[in-house]
Amino acid sequence: MTPRPSFEFRAAVPRLLVSVRDGAEAEAACAAGAALVDGKDPHRGALGALDPEVVRAMVARLAGRAITSAVAGEPDGPDALATSVATLAATGVDYVKVAVQPDFTGAALARAASAARGRLIAVLFAEVGIDPDLVARLAAAGFVGAMIDTAGKDGRRLTDWLEPPALQAFTTACREARLLSGLAGSLRLEDIPALAPLGATYLGFRGGLCEDGDRTRRLDPGLVAGAARALRALARRDAA
């Protein structure tokens, strides 16, 4: 496993996270400019876990050319968290992402974090809302990041559920807690100008970068490259 990168928590412009379903898509996303390549199965809901062997092959294929993550699914309650996380952590992926509910206890969160020490990112669902205390609890438990996504993939996007001020409050809380932060949820290229200034470490895409906007179809490398260009252009503008 390659050394995990050190993120700049106060970066002016977020990096591009692209979710992929296999090694070929991972290669294409990396070549098109994705900074973080995230393994998930789009046929299994918002956080469908890939077979660990698929993730292991993805990591080997990229060979450190991009940061990698993989989702550990939506465990059936807090007792299943650590087991789900450990399975994906064993693939050698840089980061593991797992769904977390606001009522999970600190002890359950700590057990999960210890199963992927220094590598675990919580995924919170926009439909549930943002628990103002959860970010601090995640940091205390040993998580390294938190992101917001949408559980339903019915065409509604992140900003249909949460207004920009609430999203900015979330990313600010993450920075103050020294956590990576991410915003995702049926995002499209046109969402970048509105979301990029909110302070997230990365913006996450899948369906908006796929053929016909369908998250179950193949990634379109041209759209991935377009998202990467848009973020680079914002970075150049801010640096000018």
User: What is the structure's pLDDT at 237?
Assistant: 80
Say what percent of the chain tops pLDDT 90: 82
* Model pLDDT for residues 186-202, shown as the tens digit of each residue: 999 999 999 999 999 99
**Taking a C-beta distance cutoff of 8 angstroms, is the pair 217, 210 a contact?**
yes
Q: For 95-109, what is the mean pLDDT?
A: 93
The confidence score (pLDDT) of residue 76 equals 78
Q: In terms of C-beta density within 10 A (0-12 exposed, 13-18 middle, 19 or more buried), how is residue 13 classed?
A: buried
pLDDT tens for each residue of 29-86: 999 999 999 999 999 988 899 999 999 999 999 999 999 999 998 887 778 889 999 9
- Is 97 marked active-site? yes
Please report which confidence band the pLDDT of residue 240 belongs to, taking 50, 70 and 90 as the band edges: low
The reply to whether 153 belongs to the active site is no
3-class secondary structure, 51? coil
Average pLDDT, the chain: 92
Does the pLDDT of residue 12 top 80, yes or no? Answer: no
Which pLDDT score is estimated for 2?
Answer: 41
> Residue 99 pLDDT > 70, yes or no?
yes
pLDDT at 10 (0 to 100): 52
pLDDT of the residue at 155: 81
Res. 203: pLDDT tops 50: yes
Flag whether pLDDT at 5 surpasses 60. Answer: no
Banded pLDDT at 180 (limits 50, 70, 90): very high
Q: What's the pTM?
A: 0.93
> What ranges in the chain are assigned the alpha helix state H?
23-32, 52-62, 81-89, 106-115, 134-141, 158-161, 164-176, 192-195, 221-239
pLDDT at position 207, please? 94
Residues 76 and 30: their CA atoms lie apart, in Å, by: 32
Give the SS3 label for residue 179: coil
Query: Domain segments of the chain: what residues?
Result: 15-239
SS3 (DSSP) at 172: helix
Question: What's the pLDDT tens digit per position in 74-90?
Answer: 887 778 889 999 999 99
CATH of domain 15-239: 3.20.20.60
Q: Is the pLDDT of residue 22 over 70?
A: yes
Residue 231 has pLDDT above 50, yes or no: yes
Q: Which of 97, 111, 175, 206 is catalytic?
A: 97
Q: Which residue in 40, 111, 175, 206 is the catalytic one?
A: 40
